[in-house]
Amino acid sequence: MHRIAFVLLPSLVAAAVQAQQPPEGNAPRSPRADSLRQASRLDSEGRTTEARAIFQALVAGAPDDAARAQAQRAMAMSFAFDGDCANAARLEEQVIAYWRTREQAEPLNAFYQQGEMANEAARVCIDAGDLETAERYYRLGRELGLKEPEPKKNPASLWEYRTEHALARLAARRGDRRAAARHVAKAKEWLERDTVMAMPQRRFLPYLEGYVALYLKDYATAEAKLTAALAAQGNQNDPFFHYLLAETFAAQGRADEAKRYYQLAYDKAGGHNPPAAFTRPNARRKLAGG
């Protein structure tokens, strides 16, 4: 049975915080979870230096390797809020190293997590404009994810699809129309080859097509595809999709519509993950006239 959607899993911070929320009443909360919550909020507010002081203390005071990796991943996202590809990737490498130690104990999870962390670093880097580093980590994510042993919980087709999706976006960012079209076509082929994998993935195809069209300056297609992406079930609250549509309107000189979607992107970017880390500060700047 396949699992996972194309969007990278929520930040380990968010997952850990949610897991440690008391179900009802006044049950005590974990001080560590409260610190993660506080630092994540500071990042969202643009107070990243303060946030990282908290994350660094959590790394230094971690009670075990798993908690340390959790804090390192959270601090990687803090650097992502500043568009700092190099430091985000450095910390994701440390989290990958932790998951390498779990290969024997958790073989069906450890390789997936390694691939996931590499893809997460890649996402931060492509959003920061470091395309070469992003490509290197996307390819590493595929390599690591494909090492998952049988019986696989995550099919090889998922990693192949993710890689073609990423390579199409990278090609568009480089202005290579032919390569972008080739990788979009290959991504579609993987969806057709594995219809089970495709069920949760297909809704991200219009996003890919819209992203490629936007960076290749085909704004009419970008608007149509990104509007379709936002209409797909499960996509309505994605801040990055709203931001891309705002960029599409701005490129066409439709300032009022752009402002509306920048505001929606900002308001929806409440997480502590790559889409929020890119969208929140950039939408803030756009709304301030930057």
Give the number of other Cβ atoms within 10 Å of residue 228's Cβ: 16
pLDDT score at 290? 72
What stretches of 84-173 show up as alpha helix (H) in DSSP?
Answer: 85-100, 107-128, 131-145, 156-173
Supply angle C-alpha 117, 161, 147, rounded to 5: 50
3-state secondary structure of 222: helix
Residue in 235, 206, 240 with CA at minimum distance from that of residue 223: 206
Question: Domain boundaries in the chain?
Answer: 31-132, 237-290
Nearest-angstrom CA–CA distance, 285 and 263: 11
Q: What is the pLDDT of residue 24?
A: 41
What is the token pair recorded at 90? 């450095």
- CA dist 131 and 41 (Å) reads 28
User: What pLDDT does residue 26 have?
Assistant: 53
Blockwise average pLDDT, block size 10, the chain, 290 residues: 37 34 52 97 98 98 98 98 98 98 97 98 98 98 97 96 98 98 98 97 97 98 98 95 98 98 98 98 94
Q: Which CATH class is domain 31-132?
A: mainly alpha
* Helix-helix angle 85-100:65-81, to 10 degrees: 160
- pLDDT value at residue 260: 98
| Secondary structure letter of residue 142 according to DSSP | H
CA distance 168 to 172: 6
